[in-house]
Amino acid sequence: MQTVLVTGGAGYVGAHTCLRLAEAGFLPVAYDNLTNGHEAFTQWGPLEIGDIRDPVRLDEVFAKHQPVAVLHFAALIEVGESVRHPDRFYDNNVAGALALIAAARRAGVDKLVFSSTCATYGEPQQMPMDETHPQAPLNPYGRSKLMVEQILGDLDRHSGFRSVCLRYFNAAGADFEGRIGEWHDPETHAIPLAIAAAMGANAGFKIFGRDYPTRDGTAVRDYIHVLDLADAHVRALRHLLDGGASEAFNLGTGTGSTVQEVVAAIAAVSGRPFDVADAERREGDAPALVADNHKARDILGWAPRYGLPEILSSAWKWHTEGLPALKSTTL
């Protein structure tokens, strides 16, 4: 059984990827400082507690587990926070990635799958967006991810360190068995916030902007099930292990849903209509963000299996059953 180091393996996407790695026959070792992750999410392999900026701890973990590759999720991700504290994002996301890469190279590991984002593209110039779209991020979060992509590109060209950069669109949904799902504090993502409103945990849900040039005036986003993301990471890992070249791939369904459509679908899934308030557009929000995923289909053989119904039903199950049960055993 091959061992893989998964930084941020106690977080949302990282934990779901550990699940899929274990199902695919790998041993995922989660490396996490538990700032945003949850120890209860590390159910498919050992947990090593540490920070990606700690070279001594990284060297210990690489020596102990001898992974064949790294899947790198550990990062700060909240866009608004990146605007308020850009230095923290560059320190954690860029300096942290450099420290991790250096430790991997000291251990003789030369393969890395990087959790990137469509935020590296910035304002959409075409729709859907493919991997040739210009990269001009609008905020420090997106710039920090692009910097790491550029570092990885230089390492590939000049030292043979190969990588796959996976540019997510909107990750959503949860494990269908309700074992893990989204658990952020504070929560900033639309689907969990709308579910909380349907559950009565929030006073209501805000729609930011109803005057976009879309089919109902609300913004369009490409929601991709977190297990489809996890599957893409396993395929990217195998691509590198099989000698594949460094690549970047978009991960989205290729089909966008409006915020209004998501709200209506959550009300239908839950059977609980909830209050919705209109608010002004937020600065930097694009009218639509939809992926062209043909490159991932062609090279990785990947295709999303789930759509919005499965995303919302699995998320509802998690927030109403899985998360309350997990909190009762861990808090």
Give the active site residues.
Answer: 141
What residues form DSSP beta bridges with 172?
225
What tokens were used for 98?
Answer: 């450099």
Minimal CA–CA distance to 250: which of 303, 174, 190? Answer: 303
SS (H, E, C) 200-234: CCCCCEEEECCCCCCCCCCCEECEEEHHHHHHHHH
Compute φ and ψ for 282, nearest 5 degrees: -95, 140
- Cα 288 to Cα 103, 148, 173, 218, 315: the distances in Å are 39, 25, 20, 9, 23
Distant-in-sequence, close-in-space partners of 280: CB < 8 Å, separation ≥ 6: 208, 209
Residue 132 near residue 217, CB atoms below 8 Å: no
For residue 139, the Cα-to-chain-centroid distance in whole angstroms is 17
CA atoms within 13 A on the CB side of 228: 29
